[in-house]
A and B are shown apart, each in its own frame.
Chain A
């Protein structure tokens, strides 16, 4: 195969590969991508929805906790009133009862309208202190009911208070209670969300109102708060990276009259575990599918390329045969004209020698025994001229036979019967030369349509060649020579195999054996036309001849003919 061909096959290969890969792969990739995106979106939104539901439930729970505490306080204020509660002993009894029912309360105090802590029940010494300027006092005074952010206050401990303002005469009084931040934190933390989910509260300034399990003490500022606090009103979730580059999803909702933000956060890997699993599965399937398509494309392409190569080679072989046949026809035509012309001078030479022959006796007589030796030489060379003319005549005759294969009379011939008949013609010769001539019979009749004399000529030529090759190798006395003729049928072809264990044909000569006038026999023993004639005949019958040979081992000539 030439470099040109290799280049060409490469190009075809690339073209086929591209078209075969792109056509299925593009829609496949597109379909997979669309399915992937839609699927991801669906899983994401359903995950978000379920998270939202959990967070919503939780926020209602926290809200109701606060509302209950507020209701407790309002009940106490309304039920007992300023007078009763200003009495420390009374306050203590009420507080103890309240704490039994609701242990979240840490302390309780009563304030008059000047901000004076009139009565206090709890672990700190706060009675008598004035809170007129405390922010919670002002808020409670204005709003009537107030839940504060966490602050340090006079006691210098983080806490938050619930205050209820009630009218008294022409002024007001305030009942205040402090909530246990630890307990409140526990309430907020209660939410369960996967493995990494946690809930906490920040105020409008981003300050932690409850502790965060993963770090974040009370009164510290949440560094991530801004995104959440200033998120658009219709969006209640964001995704952020933390310091370790882990991504978290934050869901949040305002509670306590939009004073606090309840935040639930969960690691993305945890929250979207199903999504990621599905995504990986889809990717794996896509990769496998793509791999399969690619592999099958490569496989098919290789097969196509191999087919093309095979048919190219077949075509090349056919072309060679065509060229060969054309050359043979040309040579045949040329040589037949040439042989015909040669025949005329040969005719004259033959006539001349015949004349010489006829005058020799007269000369002999005239010489009366003189120059007898010269005379003998003359007669000898005259005889030789005649021999050589005969040889020429034989050559021209074979050439003309080779050139003329037109008036064939085709008939259906059963090779199984025909071959042995022909072999019988040469069996005597083979026997004399000490060669075993065998033929194998096909079980069934193998028929071809051919001219009997032509077919006979082909067979005789091949068998004679085989016999000659055997003699060349083994001589005539060793009795090791073997020529085998086998008839068989292979598909639509009738095969005649002539196998011998003779001298064989060299690789170099194999290419030339069908060329007219090519002969390996000594000068004068062969015209070099035998196989050319066989070739021409077999070709004209629509068949072909194959030759395989190993020097000094075995040669097989197979005649392929279309079976009828």
Chain B
């Protein structure tokens, strides 16, 4: 089974480092980005299953980043990391396609739990997609005949 790959996006560098270490200790592969642009760059070049995205960031903020991610990489699951005062933003995020949100300050285990859930969801979705595309490849004999006639 494919291993979960997480991208952490937050403006707090130390948080990124420590959380990455913790995730790696639990055997989860994690990448980090300190801003929206950097996150998008990584998504363009690497395979990522779940993005943990801080709502409040300098420069491009979480919601904007979320929209861009969702438009370019619709299959990537995004979990919003939010402070209390930005629950509205979290709601906005959910409306814009985020899978879930986590309230700051969060417990690492809670974070992993939510990420895992999201990953599961994505895996099921991907399986469905694979099945569907496999069906398009497996054509019925009649169709092959019809095509051959042309």
Write the chain B residue with the least CB distance to A341.
B83
Does B42 sit within 8 A of A, measured CB to CB?
no
The 8 A CB mask of B57-75 against A (1 = contact, 0 = none) is 0000000000000000000
Does A347 sit within 8 A of B, measured CB to CB?
yes
Write the chain A residue with the least CB distance to B56.
A340
Contact B21 A347 (CB under 8 A): no
| Residues of B close to A548: CB separation below 8 A | none
| Residues of A close to B44: CB separation below 8 A | none
| Residues of B close to A76: CB separation below 8 A | none
| Residues of A close to B22: CB separation below 8 A | 351, 354-355, 358
Residue from A350, A401, A403 within 8 A of B105 (CB atoms): A350
Does B121 sit within 8 A of A, measured CB to CB?
no
Does A165 sit within 8 A of B, measured CB to CB?
no
Q: Which of B19, B85, B88, B108 has the most CB of A within 10 A?
A: B85
Does A532 sit within 8 A of B, measured CB to CB?
no
The smallest beta-carbon distance between A455 and chain B, in angstroms, is 20
Docked pose: A397 CA to B87 CA in angstroms = 12
Docked pose: A344 CA to B84 CA in angstroms = 11
Residue from A337, A343, A348, A400 within 8 A of B18 (CB atoms): A348
The smallest beta-carbon distance between B89 and chain A, in angstroms, is 12
Contact A355 B18 (CB under 8 A): yes
Does B25 sit within 8 A of A, measured CB to CB?
yes
The 8 A CB mask of A351-394 against B (1 = contact, 0 = none) is 11011001000000000000000000000000000000100010
The smallest beta-carbon distance between B74 and chain A, in angstroms, is 29
The smallest beta-carbon distance between A386 and chain B, in angstroms, is 9
Does A346 sit within 8 A of B, measured CB to CB?
yes
| Residues of B close to A355: CB separation below 8 A | 18, 21-22, 25
Q: For the complex, would chain A's binding face be called helix, strand, loop or mixed by DSSP majority?
A: helix
| Residues of A close to B124: CB separation below 8 A | none
Contact B15 A336 (CB under 8 A): no
| Residues of A close to B83: CB separation below 8 A | 340, 343-344, 400
Docked pose: A343 CA to B102 CA in angstroms = 13
Contact A358 B105 (CB under 8 A): no
Does B3 sit within 8 A of A, measured CB to CB?
no
A:83-127 near B, CB below 8 Å: none
Interface extent on A, as a size class? 20 to 34
Docked pose: A401 CA to B56 CA in angstroms = 19
Docked pose: A99 CA to B66 CA in angstroms = 154
- The tally of CB-CB contacts under 8 A between chains A and B is 65
B:20-40 near A, CB below 8 Å: 21-22, 25
Does B142 sit within 8 A of A, measured CB to CB?
no
Contacts known (A339-B84, A400-B85); A389 close to B18, Cβ less than 8 A:
no
- Tell me how many residues of B have a C-beta within 8 Å of chain A: 21
| Residues of B close to A13: CB separation below 8 A | none
Residue from A389, A396, A407 within 8 A of B84 (CB atoms): A396
Contact B15 A347 (CB under 8 A): yes
Contact A354 B84 (CB under 8 A): no
Contact B104 A346 (CB under 8 A): yes
Does B106 sit within 8 A of A, measured CB to CB?
yes
Contact B19 A404 (CB under 8 A): no
Does B12 sit within 8 A of A, measured CB to CB?
yes
Contact B15 A343 (CB under 8 A): no
Contact B106 A347 (CB under 8 A): yes
Does B2 sit within 8 A of A, measured CB to CB?
no
| Residues of A close to B18: CB separation below 8 A | 348, 351-352, 354-355
Q: Which of B15, B21, B84 has the most CB of A within 10 A?
A: B84
Contact A351 B15 (CB under 8 A): yes
The smallest beta-carbon distance between A107 and chain B, in angstroms, is 141
| Residues of A close to B147: CB separation below 8 A | none
Docked pose: A403 CA to B14 CA in angstroms = 29
Contact A340 B25 (CB under 8 A): no
Contact A404 B106 (CB under 8 A): no
Does B149 sit within 8 A of A, measured CB to CB?
no
| Residues of A close to B41: CB separation below 8 A | none
Does B107 sit within 8 A of A, measured CB to CB?
yes
Contact B84 A404 (CB under 8 A): yes
Contact B84 A351 (CB under 8 A): no
The smallest beta-carbon distance between B19 and chain A, in angstroms, is 5
Contacts known (A351-B15, A358-B25); A343 close to B107, Cβ less than 8 A:
no
Docked pose: A400 CA to B105 CA in angstroms = 13
| Residues of B close to A344: CB separation below 8 A | 12, 15, 83, 104
The smallest beta-carbon distance between B12 and chain A, in angstroms, is 6
Contact B84 A401 (CB under 8 A): yes
The smallest beta-carbon distance between B40 and chain A, in angstroms, is 23
Contact A397 B84 (CB under 8 A): yes
The 8 A CB mask of A318-339 against B (1 = contact, 0 = none) is 0000000000000000001101
Docked pose: A401 CA to B22 CA in angstroms = 30
Write the chain B residue with the least CB distance to A400.
B84
Docked pose: A224 CA to B12 CA in angstroms = 125
Contact A350 B107 (CB under 8 A): yes
| Residues of B close to A404: CB separation below 8 A | 84-85, 87
Apart from the given pairs A346-B105, A351-B15, 19 other A-B contacts in the complex at a CB distance below 8 Å: A337-B85, A340-B83, A340-B86, A343-B104, A344-B104, A347-B12, A347-B104, A347-B105, A347-B106, A351-B18, A354-B22, A358-B22, A389-B105, A393-B105, A396-B84, A400-B84, A401-B84, A404-B84, A404-B87
> 7 tightest A-B contacts by CB?
A400-B84, A347-B105, A346-B105, A351-B18, A354-B108, A343-B104, A340-B83
18 interchain pairs, CB-CB under 8 A: A339-B85, A340-B84, A344-B12, A347-B15, A347-B104, A351-B15, A351-B18, A351-B19, A351-B108, A352-B14, A355-B18, A355-B21, A355-B22, A358-B22, A393-B105, A396-B84, A404-B85, A404-B87
